[in-house]
Chains A and B, each alone.
Chain A
Amino acid sequence: MKKTLMCTVAAFTLATSAAQAEGITVLVEGGGHSLQQAVADAFTKETGIEVTFVEVPYQGVYDKLSAEIASGTSNYDVATIDVVWNAAFAPHVEDLSELFTEAVKADLPPALLADANVGGEMIGMPTWANAEIVFYRKDLWEDPANQAAFKEQYGYDLAPPATWQQWRDMAKFFTKDGMYGTDVIGGTSEEWMAEVLQAGSPGVILDDSGNVILDNPAHIEALENYRAPLCEDKSVPDNALEISWGEAQNLFYQGQTAMMKFWAHAYRMTPEDSKIAGKVGVAPMIGGSAGIAGIPGPWYNVIPSSSQHKDAARQFIAYAIAHNALGIEAPLGLAATNSAYQSYMGKPGYEHFGPLMATLSAPATKGRPLNQHYQELVDEAVMPAFQGALECEDNVAELLQEAAATARDILGQ
Chain B
Amino acid sequence: MGERRFVLLMLMPAALFLGFLVSYPVALLVYNSFFEVSLIDPSSRVWVGLANYVDALTSKRILESALRTLKYSAFALFFELLFGLGAALLFAAIAKRSQWHRTIFALPLMISPIVAGLLWRFLLVGNIGILNYGLAALGVIPDPGAIKWLSDTDIVIYSVAAADIWLTTSFVALVSYAGLTNIPQDVLEAARIDGTNAVTRFWYVTLPMLRPVLAVVVVVRGIDALKTFDLIWIQTQGGPRQASEVLSMNIYQRMVRYGDLGQASATATLFLVFMIGLAGLAYWKVWRTGND
Direct contact of A and B (CB under 8 A): yes
Alpha-carbon separation in the docked complex, A91 to B39 (Å): 13
Cβ–Cβ < 8 Å partners of A186 in chain B: 151, 240
Please judge, given known A-B contacts A69-B40, A70-B42, whether A242 and B242 are in contact too, CB under 8 Å.
no
Please judge, given known A-B contacts A92-B41, A242-B148, whether A237 and B258 are in contact too, CB under 8 Å.
no
Among listed B8-16, B75-83, B123-131, interface-contacting one: B123-131
Alpha-carbon separation in the docked complex, A141 to B276 (Å): 64
Question: Which residues of chain A (194-250) have a CB below 8 Å from chain B?
Answer: 237-242, 247, 250
B86 at the interface (CB under 8 A from A): no
Please judge, given known A-B contacts A187-B239, A384-B241, whether A239 and B148 are in contact too, CB under 8 Å.
yes
CB distance from A64 to the nearest CB of B (A): 11
In this complex, how many residues of chain B approach chain A with their Cβ under 8 Å: the count is 24
Cβ–Cβ < 8 Å partners of A237 in chain B: 126-127, 145
Please judge, given known A-B contacts A186-B151, A187-B239, A384-B241, whether A239 and B39 are in contact too, CB under 8 Å.
no
CB distance from B104 to the nearest CB of A (A): 30
Alpha-carbon separation in the docked complex, A250 to B125 (Å): 13
Cβ–Cβ < 8 Å partners of B41 in chain A: 69-70, 91-92
Cβ–Cβ < 8 Å partners of B240 in chain A: 186, 241, 387, 390
Cβ–Cβ < 8 Å partners of B241 in chain A: 383-384, 387-388
B96 at the interface (CB under 8 A from A): no
A376 at the interface (CB under 8 A from B): yes
A379 at the interface (CB under 8 A from B): yes
B150 at the interface (CB under 8 A from A): yes
A279 at the interface (CB under 8 A from B): no
Question: Which residues of chain B (189-243) have a CB below 8 Å from chain A?
Answer: 237, 239-242
Alpha-carbon separation in the docked complex, A63 to B241 (Å): 25
Cβ–Cβ < 8 Å partners of B237 in chain A: 187
On whether the beta carbons of A66 and B145 are closer than 8 Å, the reply is no
B148 is contacted by which of A66, A69, A241 (Cβ under 8 Å)? A241
Contact with B along A363-399 (1 / 0, CB 8 A): 0000000001101100100011001101000000000
A280 at the interface (CB under 8 A from B): no
Cβ–Cβ < 8 Å partners of B257 in chain A: 375-376, 379
CB distance from B128 to the nearest CB of A (A): 6
On whether the beta carbons of A373 and B258 are closer than 8 Å, the reply is yes
Alpha-carbon separation in the docked complex, A186 to B150 (Å): 12
A247 is contacted by which of B39, B40, B128, B253 (Cβ under 8 Å)? B128
A332 at the interface (CB under 8 A from B): no
On whether the beta carbons of B151 and A242 are closer than 8 Å, the reply is yes
Q: List 16 A-B contacts (CB under 8 A).
A: A62-B256, A66-B39, A69-B41, A70-B42, A92-B41, A237-B127, A238-B145, A239-B125, A241-B151, A241-B239, A242-B125, A242-B150, A373-B258, A379-B257, A387-B239, A387-B240
Taking beta carbons and an 8 Å cutoff, which residues of A are in contact with B? 62-63, 66, 69-70, 72, 88-89, 91-92, 186-187, 237-242, 247, 250-251, 372-373, 375-376, 379, 383-384, 387-388, 390
